[in-house]
Chain A
Amino acid sequence: MTVLGVLRRSGPALIGGAVVGVWLACALFAPLLAPYDPLKSYSPLISPGGLSPDGMRFWLGTDLLGRDILSRLIHGARTVVVWAGLATLSAYVVGLAAGLLAGFYRGWVDTVLSFVANTVLSFPVLVLYIVIIVSIGASAANIVIAVTFASAPAIFRIVRALTIDLRSRDFVAAAITQGESDWRIMLVEILPNASGPLVVDVCLRLGYTAITIGVLGFLGLGLPPPTPDWGGMINDGRAMAIAFPHLVVFPCIAISSLMLGLSLLADGLREIANAGPGGGEG
């Protein structure tokens, strides 16, 4: 079944998929879509739709340094998609491995891993990010490390619960009797059957990670300056926001629409999985 075929079964999934698709297209084709160079300074603080002295039109205006906001938003989509994607992937690798191990073997492995996860989770997440980023420095790679550390425990919990449930099923017992290796059972028998709920979680987590990158940028702990980054744009424009709201309103719309798209997609996929036959195989 094609991706579109699945999405067509639910309204929210279709709308969410479309919004996410638009931002993905922006990320992929940023240099083609952006009307101007996102790093070049034209004329500072033009309001949305205004003209620069030499007759160029800026649909969303320009920022304090005279850079085109629309171009920065489009290039910023690339930053968000790449780094939120990598950070989520990295958190998933850790969370999946730990969750499968804990759920499959139980015993002391489970006790230790669960304690670590609960410890991390009983700490306000944002504080964790701030402490980590302040001590290892603000860079894209460090954001990936911080997100992995802070969200792998939540993924771990979901995977662990799913694994415990699937572990008791007959097909796993059959695989054990056949003498399949533990890793093969975890990756080939259990993981594909757990993928339904996990796909929904991936959508939401991508959104949370995008927001986290935005929040860190907003707090001045995000990607280093010239990079077009939505959160960083909000932070840069914050001091002037009372006089020039367009500096901060557009990046906020961008990040909210991406999160909205992803949560609609997640809702829709959950709906499809609950309703349709074969939805569980995702």
Chain B
Amino acid sequence: MKRYIAIKLGEMILVMLAVSFIVHVALELNVGDVAAKVLGQFSTAAQRQVWLKENGYLDPFLVRYFRWLGHFIVGDWGQSLRFRTEVISLIGPRLAATGILAAATLLVTVPIALLLGIAAGVREGSLLDRGITVFSVLTTSIPEFASAVFLSAVFVFWLGLLPGASTMTAGFSPAELVLPVMVLSLYTAGYLARMTRSSMIEAMASPYVRTAMMKGASLPRIVFRHALRNALIAPITVIMLQIPWLLSGVIVVEVFFAYKGFGTLLFEAALNSDIYLIEACAMVGVVVVVVTQLISDMLYTWLNPRISFRDVGRREGGA
């Protein structure tokens, strides 16, 4: 297991190197624009040239890349061009804000989705099952920006119950968190419920559940004692794998509701070709993705001791 974690972390560093290189290459295409953005559109070509030279943008590409890399490793993540402060001081609070959003989403999503999935899966084909299936197909088909529009039309425009923006200018306000969390939860809950349903159906059809039924065990006992533990393996690993996806969805939702989180930070950084900020956000993103994959794999083996870590590696490599 230690070996597995070491390999995973090694891979993570390779991926971080590759991603940071790709981001540098992508932004290399319009390096001249950076000076225009910093100095304003009324600056002269000569001024821009001087600025580029002073800030080292005219050095060869690889020199700049390795200089950034060297600084990044020792914790000097550079200055944000857009916010004119240290990149490292920007990331913490924004990440925390998004963390609150993600945690609230998972807190809402997981119990609802598991309950719906279990209820639907216990009796396949029942009216409840059909209803839940329709619900999950609907919610997984509506993109976040659309459900954000629908929900704000209902709760902000017609009912006037909730604020339409989540800027949190007057301090932290739970009411402003409601709509973003609802939007993020809708999609995730539908997806997770579908997943739980299909693994519950599989578990209910297995021989050990049939044995329990023939013994005359009660339905709650069968579901909670026998079927559930095996049925939850897939959904729980899916919950962890949803987190990187949440990171993408979070950008849309945060931009829509003007929530000051990691997503809007990255969006603004990308719009402004703010290279050091993009790089820092990208590196944080990769770490989050790989660490959640790792946790997901560990949960998988913990829940299902028949599978060893070597198989987990094979599961990824093979299929």
Contacts and interface: CB of A to CB of B under 8 A. Distances in A.
Interface of A: 12, 114-115, 118-119, 122-127, 130-132, 134-136, 161, 164, 207, 211, 214-215, 218-219, 231, 234, 238, 241-242, 245, 248-249, 252-253, 255-256, 259-260, 263-264, 267
A125 B318 contact: no
A177 to B, nearest CB: 26
A259 B141 contact: yes
Interface stretch (B88-96, B116-124, B146-154, B305-313): B146-154
Contact of B146 (A114, A119, A125, A252): A252
B143 A211 contact: yes
Interface centre among B11, B141, B266 (most CB of A within 10 A): B141
Contacts of A164: 318
Please indicate which of the listed interface residues B30, B146, B270, B285 has the most CB atoms of chain A within 10 Å of its own CB: B146
A131 B270 contact: yes
Contacts of B271: 130, 134
Contacts of A256: 141-143, 146
Contacts of B319: 161
A164 B164 CA distance: 50
A113 to B, nearest CB: 13
B267 to A, nearest CB: 6
Nearest to B251: A126
Interface residues of B, number: 50
A255 B143 contact: yes
Contacts of B172: none
Interface of B: 11, 14-15, 18-19, 22-23, 26-27, 29-30, 137-138, 140-143, 145-146, 149-150, 152-153, 156-157, 164, 244-245, 247-249, 251-252, 255-256, 266-267, 270-271, 273, 278, 281-282, 285-286, 289-290, 317-319
Contacts, number: 123
10 contacts: A126-B248, A135-B30, A161-B318, A164-B318, A219-B252, A245-B153, A248-B149, A253-B146, A256-B143, A260-B141
Contacts of A234: 145-146, 149
